[in-house]
Structure 1
Amino acid sequence: MRLDQFKTVALSRFAFLQRLRLPAVGLHFRPTRRGIMLAGAAVPAAFLLYVLVLLPFTPGISDIRKAKSEQPARVLSEDGKEIAVYRWANRDWVKLADISPNVVNALIATEDHRFYDHHGLDWRRTASAALHTFSGDRQGGSTITQQLARNRYPDEIGRAPTMTRKLKEAITAFKIEALYSKDEILETYLNTVPFLYNAFGIEMAARTYFDKPAGKLDVLEAATLIGMLKGNSYYNPVLNPERALDRRNIVLAQMVKRGRLEASKLDALKRRPLRIDFERQIEAPGPAPHFAQQLRKWLIAWADRNDYNLYTDGLVVHTTIDARLQTLATQAVAHQGNQLQSIANAAWGPRAGWGENRALVQSFVRESTEFRTAVAAGQPEDAVLKRLLADNAFMQALRQQKTRVQAGFLAIEPNTGAIRAWVGSRDFTVDAFDHVQQARRQPGSTFKPFVYGAAFAAGETPDDTLVDQPVEMTLAGGEIWRPTDESAPTGRPMSLRDGLVYSKNTITAQLVQRVGPDRVARLARAMGVRDSHLDAVPSLALGTSPVTLKEMVSAYGTIANGGQYVAPSMVTRIEDSEGNVLAQFRAPRPERALSATATATLLDVMRDVIDRGTGTAIRTRYGIRADVAGKTGTTQDNADGWFILMHPQLVAGAWVGFNDSRVTLRSDYWGQGARSALPIVGDFYQRALRARAIDGRARFAEPEDTGWFSSMTGQVRGWFQRLFASRSGTKEDTPQAPRPSPRRPVLPDTEADAMPPPAPASNVAVDPPSAPDISEVVEAVPASDTAPTPPAAAPTEAASHPEGAASL
Structure 2
Amino acid sequence: MNRPSVPHFRELCARWLARLRTVTAMAGAKARGMIGAAWHGLRHPTRRGLMLAMAAVPALLLAYVLALIPFTPRVSDIRKARVDRPALVVSADGKLLAEFKPVNREWVPLNQISPYVVQALIATEDHRFYEHHGIDPERLASAAFHTFSGTRQGGSTITQQLARNLYPDEVGRAPTLTRKLKEAITALKIEYVYSKGEILETYLNTVPFLYNAYGVEMAARTYFGKPAAQLDILESATLVGMLKANSAYNPVLNPARALERRNTVLAQMVKFGKLKPDEYASLKGQPTHVDFEPQSEAVGAAPHFAAQLRRWLITWADRNGYNIYSDGLVVRTTIDSRLQAMATQAVAWQTNQLQWIAKDAWNERTGCWPGNDLFQSFIRQTAEYRAARDAGLTDPAAVKKLAMDGSFVDALCRSKTQIQAGFIALDPRNGDIKAWVGSRDFHDEPFDHVQQARRQPGSTFKAFVYGAAFADGAQPSDTIVDRNVTIALKGNAVWRPTDAEPPTGRPMTLRDALAYSRNRVTAQLMQREGPAKVADLARKMGVRESPLDAVPSLALGTSPVTLKEMVSAYCTIANHGAYVEPRMVTRIEDRDGNVLADFPAAQPERALPPGAALKLIDAMRDVVTRGTGSEIRTRFGIRADVAGKTGTTQDNTDSWFILMHPQLVAGAWVGFDDARVTLRNDYWGEGAHSALPMVGAFYDMALRARVIDAHAQLAPRSNPPAASHPRAHHRFLFWRF
CA shift for structure 1 position 602: 0.8
Give the whole-Å Cα distance in 2 for the aligned partners of 1:499 and 1:742: 17
Deviation at 1:177, TM superposition (A): 2.1
Question: Which secondary structure state, in structure 2, belongs to the residue aligned with residue 645 of structure 1?
Answer: strand
The answer on 1:625 being equivalent to 2:639 is yes
Deviations 1:411-459 (A, max 9, x none): 0110111111000000000001111111111111111111111111122
Q: Which residue of 1 aligns with 2:665?
A: 651
Aligned length: 696
Residue 734 of structure 2 is aligned to residue 753 of structure 1 = no
Task: Give the Cα separation in 2 of the matches to 1:752 and 1:673.
Answer: 22
- In 1: Cα distance, 2:561 partner to 2:52 partner: 79
Any stretches of 5+ residues in structure 2 without a counterpart?
1-38, 733-737
Aligned counterparts, 1:633-782, within 5 A: 633-702=647-716, 743-745=720-722, 747=724, 751-754=728-731
Cα gap change, 1:555/1:386 in structure 2, threshold over 3 Å: closer, same or farther?
Answer: same
Shift in alpha-carbon separation, 1:623–1:363, aligned structure 2, 3 A: same
**Who is 1:728 aligned against?**
none
Choose which of 182, 205, 227 in structure 1 pairs with 2:196: 182
Alignment-derived partner of residue 236 in structure 1: 250
Task: Give the letter aligned to residue 481 of structure 2.
Answer: V
Deviations 1:153-184 (A, max 9, x none): 23333323334433333333233223212211
Please name the residue that 2:454 is paired with: 440
Q: Secondary structure at the match of 1:490?
A: coil
Contact 2:458 2:558 in 1 (8 A): yes
Q: Which amino acid aligns with 1:138?
A: R
Q: 1:191 aligns with which of 186, 196, 205?
A: 205
SS in 1 for 2:730: coil
Corresponding residue number in structure 1 for 2:309: 295
Aligned-partner residue type, residue 712 of structure 2: A
Distance 1:294 1:373, change over 3 A: farther
Deviates most, 109-118 or 45-54: 45-54
Paired letter, 1:211: G
Within the candidate set 158, 167, 172, 1:153 is matched to: 167
Name the aligned partner's letter for residue 489 of structure 2.
Answer: L
Q: CA deviation at 1:93?
A: 0.9
The amino acid of 1:216's aligned partner reads Q
Q: How much has 1:197 moved relative to structure 2? A: 2.4
Counterpart of 1:221 (choices 223, 235, 254) is 235
The one-character-per-residue Cα deviations of 1:538-566 (angstroms, maximum 9, x if unpaired) are 21111111111111101111100001111
Identity across matched positions, percent: 66
Matched, 1:355 2:369: yes
Query: Which piece of structure 1 moves more, 210-219 or 569-578?
Result: 210-219
> Which residue of structure 1 aligns with residue 552 of structure 2?
538
Instruction: Give the stretch that moved more between structures: 618-627 or 120-129.
Output: 120-129
Paired with 1:567 and 1:182, the residues of 2 have a C-alpha distance of 51
Kindly state the Cα deviation for residue 276 of structure 1 after the two structures are TM-superposed.
3.3
Q: As a proportion of its length, which structure holds more helix? A: 2
> In the aligned structure 2, how far is the partner of 1:37 from the partner of 1:538?
88
Q: How does 1:311-330 map to 2 (within 5 A)?
A: 311-330=325-344
Contact conserved, 2:634 with 2:725, CA < 8 A, in 1? no
CA contact (8 A) 2:467 2:612 kept: yes
Q: 1:469 to 1:115 in 2, by over 3 A?
A: same
Q: Quick one: structure 1 residues 38 and 564, their matched pair in 2 at CA, closer, same or farther if it must change by over 3 Å?
A: closer
| In 1: Cα distance, 2:41 partner to 2:524 partner | 106
Distance 1:688 1:46, change over 3 A: same
Q: Which moved more, 1:331-340 or 1:746-755?
A: 746-755
The C-alpha deviation readout for 1:349-405, integer Å capped at 9, x for no partner, is: 112332396111101101123223443565433332222111211111111011111
The 8 Å contact of residues 164 and 172 in structure 2, kept in 1 or not, is answered as yes
Cα distance in structure 2, aligned partners of 1:36 and 1:482? 95
CA distance 1:158–1:481, change in 2 (3 Å): closer
Determine the C-alpha separation between the residues in 1 that align with 2:355 and 2:469: 40
- The CA deviation string for residues 297-338 of structure 1, in whole angstroms up to 9 with x for no partner, is 222222222232222322221111111111110111011111
Evaluate the alpha carbon distance shift between residue 745 and residue 385 of structure 1 in structure 2; reply closer, same or farther with a 3 A threshold.
closer
Residues 370 and 403 of structure 2 are in contact (CA less than 8 Å); yes or no, is this contact kept in structure 1?
A: no
In the alignment, which residue of structure 2 is the partner of 1:563?
577
Q: In structure 2, the residue corresponding to 1:353 is in which secondary structure?
A: coil
The answer to whether the Cα contact below 8 Å between 2:368 and 2:409 also exists between their aligned partners in 1 is no
2:263 corresponds to which letter in structure 1?
N
When the two chains are superposed, the root-mean-square deviation of aligned CA atoms in Å is 2.5
- Give the secondary structure class of the aligned counterpart of 2:104: coil
Q: Deviations over 1:266-308 (max 9, x none)?
A: 3443333344333332211111111111112222222222232
Q: Give TM-score scaled by structure 2 length.
A: 0.89
Write the distance in 1 (CA, Å) between the matches of 2:699 and 2:401: 49
1:332-347 → structure 2 map (5 Å cutoff): 332-347=346-361
Structure 2 contact 647–657 (Cα < 8 Å) conserved: yes
> Which amino acid in the other structure matches residue 697 of structure 2?
D
For residue 383 of structure 1, what is the aligned residue in structure 2?
397
Which of the residues 284, 307, 314 maps onto 2:321?
307
Seen in structure 2, the aligned counterparts of structure 1 residues 635 and 168 have a Cα distance that, compared at 3 Å, is: closer
Distance 1:259 1:526, change over 3 A: same
Contact (CA 8 Å) 2:369, 2:403: kept in 1 or not? no
* Alignment partner, residue 422 of structure 2: 408
SS of alignment partner, residue 660 of structure 1:
coil
Correspondence for 1:95 among 106, 109, 116: 109
Query: Structure 2: which amino acid aligns with 1:312?
Result: S
Deviation at 1:648, TM superposition (A): 0.1
Instruction: Sort the Cα spacing of 1:468 and 1:109 in 2 relative to 1 into closer, same or farther, 3 A.
Output: same
Contact 2:65-2:181 within 8 A present in 1 as well: yes
The residue that corresponds to 1:64 in the other structure is: 78
Q: How does 1:226-305 map to 2 (within 5 A)?
A: 226-305=240-319
Deviation at 1:236, TM superposition (A): 3.0
Quickly say closer, same or farther: Cα 1:59–1:635, change in 2 above 3 A: closer
Given the superposition, is the C-alpha separation of residues 496 and 242 from structure 1 closer, same or farther in structure 2, using an over 3 Å criterion? Answer: same
Q: Which moved more, 1:503-512 or 1:326-335?
A: 503-512
Letter matched to residue 395 of structure 1? V
Query: Residue deviations 1:42-78, cap 9 Å, x none?
Result: 6655555554444444333222222233522221111
CA distance in 1, matches of 2:302, 2:111: 33
Q: Report the Cα distance in structure 2 between the residues aligned to 1:23 and 1:614, rounded to whole angstroms.
A: 100
Question: Hey, what's the Cα distance between the residues in 2 that align with 1:68 and 1:298?
Answer: 25
Give 5+ residue unaligned stretches, structure 1. 1-21, 703-739, 756-808
- For residues 545 and 625 of structure 1, what CA distance do their matches in structure 2 show? 33
- Structure 1 residues 480 and 216, CA, compared in 2 at 3 Å: closer, same or farther? same
AA at the equivalent of 2:251: P
Q: CA deviation at 1:639?
A: 1.6
Match status 1:596 vs 2:624: no
Distance 1:627 1:181 in 2: 65
SS in 1 for 2:622: helix
Q: Structure 2: how far apart are the matches of 1:672 and 1:43?
A: 80
Contact 2:424/2:666, CA 8 A, preserved across alignment: yes
The more displaced of 407-416 and 95-104 is 95-104
